[in-house]
A and B are shown apart, each in its own frame.
Chain A
Amino acid sequence: MSGRNTSGIVQRRGLHHSLMRAVLFAVLGVFCIYYLIPLLVMISTSLKSLTEIREGSLISLPKEFDFSAWEKAWNSACVGVRCNGLAPYMWNSVMMTVPAVAISTILGALNGYALTKWRFRGADTIFALMLFGAFIPFQVILLPMARVLGQLGLAGTIPGLILVHTVYGLAFTTLFFRNFFIGVSSGIIQAAKVDGAGFFGIFFRLVLPMSLPAIVVTVIWQFTQIWNDFLFGVAFTIGDSNPVTVALNNVVNTSTGVKEYNVDMAAAIIAALPTLAVYVVAGAWFVRGLSAGAVKG
Chain B
Amino acid sequence: MARFGRALERRLPAIVVSPLFAASLFFVYGFILWTAYISLTRSGVMPNYEFDGLSQYVRLWETPRWYVAIRNLFVFSGLFISISMAIGILLAILLDQKVRIEGVIRTIYLYPMALSFIVTGTVWKWMLNPGLGLERLMHQAGFENFSFDWLVNSHYAIYTVVIAAVWQSSGYAMALFLAGLRSVDDEVLKAAAIDGAGLWRTYTGIVLPMLRPVFLSTVIILAHLAIKSFDLVIALTGGGPGYATDMPATFMYSFAFQRSELGVAAASATMMLMTVIAIIVPYLYSELRKTSG
With the chains together, A265 CA to B126 CA distance in Å?
9
Q: Quick one: which of B246-282 are within 8 Å of A by CB? A: 248-249, 252-253, 256-257, 262, 265-266, 268-270, 272-273, 276, 280-281
Q: Is A115 an interface residue (CB 8 A)?
A: yes
With the chains together, A182 CA to B122 CA distance in Å?
41
B92 to chain A, nearest CB (A): 11
With the chains together, A36 CA to B111 CA distance in Å?
9
Question: Which residues of chain A are within 8 angstroms of B127 by Cβ–Cβ distance?
Answer: 38, 41, 58
Inter-chain CB contacts under 8 Å: number: 289
User: Would A276 and B115 be within 8 Å (CB), given that A111-B17, A167-B27 are in contact?
Assistant: yes
Inter-chain contact B14/A120, CB cutoff 8 Å: yes
Among B78-86, B152-160, B283-291, the one that faces the other chain is B283-291
Inter-chain contact A235/B253, CB cutoff 8 Å: yes
Question: Which residues of chain A are within 8 angstroms of B25 by Cβ–Cβ distance?
Answer: 129
B197 to chain A, nearest CB (A): 9
Inter-chain contact A133/B24, CB cutoff 8 Å: yes
Question: Which residues of chain B are within 8 angstroms of A8 by Cβ–Cβ distance?
Answer: 186, 188-190, 192-193
Inter-chain contact A278/B114, CB cutoff 8 Å: yes
Tally of A interface residues using CB under 8 Å: 98
Question: Which residues of chain B are within 8 angstroms of A27 by Cβ–Cβ distance?
Answer: 90, 94
Q: Quick one: which of B169-200 are within 8 Å of A by CB? A: 171-172, 175-176, 179, 182, 186, 188-190, 192-193, 199
Question: Which residues of chain B are within 8 angstroms of A144 by Cβ–Cβ distance?
Answer: 30-31, 34-35
Question: Which residues of chain A are within 8 angstroms of B182 by Cβ–Cβ distance?
Answer: 6
With the chains together, A58 CA to B167 CA distance in Å?
18
Inter-chain contact B235/A249, CB cutoff 8 Å: yes
User: Would A9 and B199 be within 8 Å (CB), given that A137-B272, A198-B9, A252-B125 are in contact?
Assistant: yes
Q: Is A154 an interface residue (CB 8 A)?
A: no
A264's partner among B13, B122, B137 (CB-CB below 8 A) is: B122
Inter-chain contact A114/B17, CB cutoff 8 Å: yes
With the chains together, A167 CA to B21 CA distance in Å?
10
With the chains together, A59 CA to B125 CA distance in Å?
15
Inter-chain contact A135/B284, CB cutoff 8 Å: yes
Of chain A, the residue at the smallest CB distance from B129 is A261
User: Would A131 and B284 be within 8 Å (CB), given that A28-B94, A42-B123, A268-B123 are in contact?
Assistant: yes
B31 to chain A, nearest CB (A): 4
Q: Quick one: which of B33-83 are within 8 Å of A by CB? A: 34-35, 38, 47
With the chains together, A260 CA to B288 CA distance in Å?
51
Question: Which residues of chain A are within 8 angstroms of B3 by Cβ–Cβ distance?
Answer: none
Of chain B, the residue at the smallest CB distance from A227 is B116
Q: Is A124 an interface residue (CB 8 A)?
A: yes
Majority SS of interface residues in chain B?
helix
Tally of B interface residues using CB under 8 Å: 108
Q: Quick one: which of B126-170 are within 8 Å of A by CB? A: 126-127, 132-134, 136-137, 140, 167
With the chains together, A107 CA to B182 CA distance in Å?
33
User: Would A142 and B269 be within 8 Å (CB), given that A35-B111, A133-B24 are in contact?
Assistant: yes
Question: Which residues of chain B are within 8 angstroms of A38 by Cβ–Cβ distance?
Answer: 112, 120, 123-124, 127, 167
Question: Which residues of chain A are within 8 angstroms of B262 by Cβ–Cβ distance?
Answer: 143
With the chains together, A126 CA to B69 CA distance in Å?
35
B212 to chain A, nearest CB (A): 14
A224 to chain B, nearest CB (A): 6
Q: Is B113 an interface residue (CB 8 A)?
A: yes
A9's partner among B105, B202, B230, B265 (CB-CB below 8 A) is: B202
Of chain B, the residue at the smallest CB distance from A129 is B24
With the chains together, A201 CA to B270 CA distance in Å?
44
Inter-chain contact B167/A137, CB cutoff 8 Å: no
Q: Is B238 an interface residue (CB 8 A)?
A: yes
Of chain A, the residue at the smallest CB distance from B257 is A235
With the chains together, A27 CA to B94 CA distance in Å?
8
B76 to chain A, nearest CB (A): 15
With the chains together, A221 CA to B284 CA distance in Å?
20
With the chains together, A8 CA to B187 CA distance in Å?
8
Question: Which residues of chain A are within 8 angstroms of B114 by Cβ–Cβ distance?
Answer: 224, 272, 275-276, 278-279, 286
With the chains together, A130 CA to B120 CA distance in Å?
31
Q: Is B7 an interface residue (CB 8 A)?
A: no
Among A80-88, A210-218, A289-297, the one that faces the other chain is A289-297
Q: Quick one: which of A40-94 are within 8 Å of B by CB? A: 41-42, 45, 53-54, 57-59
User: Would A57 and B20 be within 8 Å (CB), given that A120-B13, A128-B288, A230-B230 are in contact?
Assistant: no
Question: Which residues of chain A are within 8 angstroms of B30 by Cβ–Cβ distance?
Answer: 144
With the chains together, A176 CA to B80 CA distance in Å?
27
Inter-chain contact B16/A111, CB cutoff 8 Å: yes
Q: Is B107 an interface residue (CB 8 A)?
A: yes
B126's partner among A135, A248, A264, A291 (CB-CB below 8 A) is: A264
Inter-chain contact B91/A248, CB cutoff 8 Å: no
Of chain B, the residue at the smallest CB distance from A193 is B9
A118 to chain B, nearest CB (A): 4
B211 to chain A, nearest CB (A): 13
Question: Which 4 pairs, one residue from A and one from B, show the smallest C-beta to C-beta distance?
Answer: A297-B291, A8-B189, A118-B13, A228-B116
